[in-house]
Amino acid sequence: MDIFAQQVLNGLVLGSVYALVALGYTMVYGILGLINFAHGEVVMIGAMVALAVVLFLTSVSPGLSPFLVIIFAGILAILVCMALAFFIERLAYRPLRNAPRLAPLITAIGISILLQNLAMIIWGRKYKTVPEIFPKETFELYGASITTVQIFIIAISAAIMAGLLVIVHFTKLGRAMRATSESQRVAGLMGINVNKIISVTFMIGAALAAIAGILVAANYSVAHYSMGFMLGLKAFTAAVLGGIGNLGGAVLGGLLLGLIESIGAGYIGDLTGGFLGSHYQDVFAFVVLIIVLVFRPTGIMGERVSERA
Amino acid sequence: MISLVQRFWGRVSNDKRALFVGYVLLFVALAFLPFLLSLTVGRMWVRILDFALIYAMLALGLNIVVGFAGLLDLGYIAFYAVGAYTWALLASPQFGLHLPFWAVLPIGAAVAALFGLLLGAPTLRLRGDYLAIVTLGFGEIIRIFLNNLDHPVNVTNGPIGINKIDPISIGGADFTRAHEVFGITFSGVHIYYYVLLALLFLTVVVCVRLERSRIGRAWVAIREDELAAQAMGINTRNIKLLAFALGASFGGVAGGLFASLQGFVSPESFGLLESIMVLCMVVLGGMGHVYGVLLGALLLTTLPEILRSTASPIQRALFGDVYVDPEALRMLLFGLALILVMLVRPTGLWPSPKRKKTLDISVTKG
């Protein structure tokens, strides 16, 4: 029972991060119908920038309150990522909005390669250790242990997701976003500045990605130039699992994928009589994805798309 | 005999004559290319050329799935892996099997085709990006299995990979070794170049014929509008499965050749990045256009190598020292090149003239 509780908890922590990143994928997909392959790298840049700021501040003025350090690092990382996303959309996606569907996919891959190697040039190849700004305390919860960082991750992602849902469903901006995702042309006719809405969508997604990057780096105490790729992939899988284009689906898919992965990794050995070990964690996640899509081809919460528009 | 040729030559039109002369010149140029490369820039480039040819085969296979049938496959490298491991298991000391190449190559193609069906069957209902993510997952699953099937039963040797794979050999003449023919010494990579060139030629011919066949037209119909294709009496299920299986078998053959040339396979060569690279070759070259895809494959395999050999010397020449990690710089430039090419030519470097027409009409937001 203790192991189970622990795996569920780990799954929730992992799932919250997946959900944050998945929201960025799903928002962009909802509006542009584009897989933003570079999103995972934005997560990485967020983590790297925050880490650089933390290291700089703690070395310049060691007496600074850790609270201020983290706020400052977080804000700077979010701003950098938002600016980055703005330029990515402007330079790599906007010119191709009426191009064949796979053209922006290739530029997205190009951006991803570019950012990864840029990060490698700036921050080097080595894994970077994240200093513990706050002392890590461990609590007991239903027989599972949870650290302060993990509590923080779950709380902050829940708050952000709730905030995002409020923005999308109850504000003027959110209404404009939803209208744009229904039809760019008609939204434009209704007086919505479609280009601006698309830019804003990218920037909101990037802000979430930056926060996710900081949380991941804090949780594993390590950051690396290639950390965004696999995370982005998993988050995209989560978005598809939940039904891409659907915000609630992204959250559900993220949490579900996190739980599947951690519970699967914990029990796959027992389930298969020791034949498959925990190395097969990712197989588990993808097999579940395939099974879900076979029965629900547009994801768990995805709308059924009609054959002809 | 000569008069017969003269009479035939007299009857064909001028256009065809020019085309014929062009083909002969191309043939001669391709035959002498490895000599030229090993004399000017070193024998390493003949090896790179070999890999470019293998990747061209791979890209042509993916082009059947993505370009012709319009099924976005992000895990195509899995079939390459299946072909490579089939060869590695059937012709290496791993199980002590040493089947000859003419047996292994078709088996590899067949096994890969089987895996193609395995992927295709459950995903028939999926569309566009949902299909993309499932194929991506499939590719990862294959790679993870290759990486971990060293216990409890050792099949693939895990992350270490399989070594000492048999090369193609005829009558005891090992093709990866140097041989002397008519007083000229051909190195192993040089001999392989001709083998690969011949197979690539065959692949191109098959692809071009396929495109114009009933099946090829059915694929294009499905790509443009699946519902309409079905209404026209096309069995979309079988035709889509055929695209998966056929595309996969091309990948299987390419994988087998890769294993035999390299003499070594490990799961590392079959990651997601490789799948994405092959997709880039197809899209950048000109999706659905056989010659465009060839161009894309040759460019994207040689460009990183050219950048690799120039990244440090140019820095040294310009700034007097190597400031930026050359490996990172080369990939950075490569990413930049991908972006710029797509921005300038969104339909690819050399798009199919027919496809361009249909694309202009069907551009809609999903």
pLDDT the model gives residue B313: 80
Residue B334 belongs to a domain? no
Q: Quick one: pLDDT at residue B132? A: 87
Query: Shortest Cα distance from B146 to chain A (angstroms)?
Result: 11
Residues B35 and B46 in one domain: no
From chain B residues 194-213, the ones with a CB under 8 A of any chain A CB are: none
Containing structural domain, residue B28: 1-40
Of B282, B304, B324, the one marking the end of a domain is B282
A303 part of a folded domain: no
- Our count of domains for chain B comes to 2
In a domain, B141, yes or no: yes
The pLDDT score that the predictor gives to residue A278 is: 65
Quick check: A297 and B126 CB within 8 A? yes
Q: Do B123 and B241 have their domain in common?
A: yes
Task: Tell me if chain A has a CB within 8 Å of the CB of B56.
Answer: no
Scanning every residue of chain B, which has its alpha carbon at the shortest distance from the alpha carbon of A90?
B343
Residue A159 domain flag: yes
pLDDT of residue B362: 46
Q: Which residues 61-80 of A have a C-beta within 8 angstroms of B?
A: none
pLDDT tens string B4-58: 777 777 777 777 888 888 888 888 888 888 888 877 877 788 889 999 999 999 9
Say whether residue A279 is in contact with chain B using an 8 A CB cutoff: yes
B363 CB near a chain A CB, below 8 Å? yes
Residue A309 is predicted with a pLDDT of 37
Nearest chain A residue (CA) to B347? A100
For tokens 């991941």, the residue is A216
Strand partners, A138: A147
- Note whether A125 contacts B: Cβ–Cβ < 8 A: yes
User: Cα-flanking dihedrals φ and ψ of residue B181, to 5°?
Assistant: -125, 125
Give the minimum alpha-carbon distance from B360 to chain A in angstroms, rounded to a whole number.
8
Quote the CA–CA distance of A277 and A288 in Å, as a whole number. Answer: 17
Indicate whether B328 belongs to any domain. no
Same domain membership, residue B127 and residue B80: yes
Query: For residue A202, what are the domain limits?
Result: 16-226
pLDDT of residue A305: 55
Arithmetic mean of pLDDT over chain A: 88
| pLDDT per residue as tens digits for the range A212-239 | 999 999 988 889 998 998 899 889 989 9
Are residues B52 and B34 part of one domain?
A: no
Q: ipTM of this model?
A: 0.87
- Pair (B35, B134) in one structural domain: no
Note the pLDDT tens digit of each residue in A252-299.
Answer: 999 999 998 888 877 776 766 666 666 777 787 788 888 888 888 888
Residue A306 pLDDT class (50, 70, 90 cuts): very low
pLDDT tens column, A127-161: 988 887 777 788 887 778 888 889 989 999 999 99
CA distance B13 to chain A (A): 38
B203 in the same domain as B165: yes
- Tens of pLDDT, residues A16-43: 999 999 999 999 998 888 889 899 999 9
CB contacts under 8 A, B 314-343 vs A, are 324-325, 328-329, 331-332, 334-339, 342-343
Mutate to test the interface with A, among B71, B118, B130 (most CBs of A within 10 A): B130
**Amino acid letter at B248?**
A
pLDDT value at residue B1: 67
* A193 within a domain of the structure (yes/no): yes
Task: Evaluate whether residue B301 is within a structural domain.
Answer: no
Note whether B363 contacts A98, CB cutoff 8 Å. yes
Q: Is A107 on the interface with B (CB under 8 A)?
A: yes
- Sign of the CA dihedral B185, B188, B189, B194? positive
Residue A235 lies in a domain: no
Domains of chain A: total: 1
Interchain contact, B287 vs A290, CB within 8 Å:
no
pLDDT for the residue numbered B82: 96
Q: What's the whole-model pTM score?
A: 0.88
Spatial distance between the Cα atoms of B162 and B264, rounded to a whole number of angstroms: 6
> B138 with B225, same domain?
yes
- Give dist(CA A265, CA B326) in Å, integer: 38
Q: Are residues B25 and B49 in the same domain?
A: no
- Please indicate, yes or no, if residue B100 is contained in any of the structural domains: yes
The verdict on residue B235 lying in a domain is: yes
Q: How far is A50 from chain B (nearest CA, A)?
A: 22
Burial A139-178 (b: 16+ CB within 10 A, else e): eeeeebebeebbebbbebbeebbeebeeebeeeeeeebbb
Say whether both B189 and B266 belong to one domain.
Answer: yes
Chain A closest CA to B366's CA: distance in Å?
6
Contact A92, A111 (CB under 8 A): yes
A87 touches chain B (CB under 8 A): no
Low-confidence ranges of chain B (pLDDT < 70): 1, 171-172, 183, 354-366
Q: What is the pLDDT of residues A182-205, one digit of tens each?
A: 889 999 999 999 999 999 999 999
Interface size, chain A vs chain B, as Cβ–Cβ contacts under 8 Å? 145
CA distance B252 to chain A (A): 22
Distance, first Cα to last Cα, chain B: 62
Say whether both B112 and B31 belong to one domain: no
* Domain shared by B30 and B52, yes or no: no
Q: Which residues of chain A does B152 touch, with a Cβ-Cβ cutoff of 8 Å?
A: 274-275
Contact A289 B134 (CB under 8 A): yes
Of B229, B259, B282, the position where a domain reaches its end is B282
Residue at B342 is within a domain: no
Do B105 and B79 belong together in one domain?
yes
Is some CB atom of chain B closer than 8 A to the CB atom of A169? no
**What pLDDT sits at residue B116?**
95
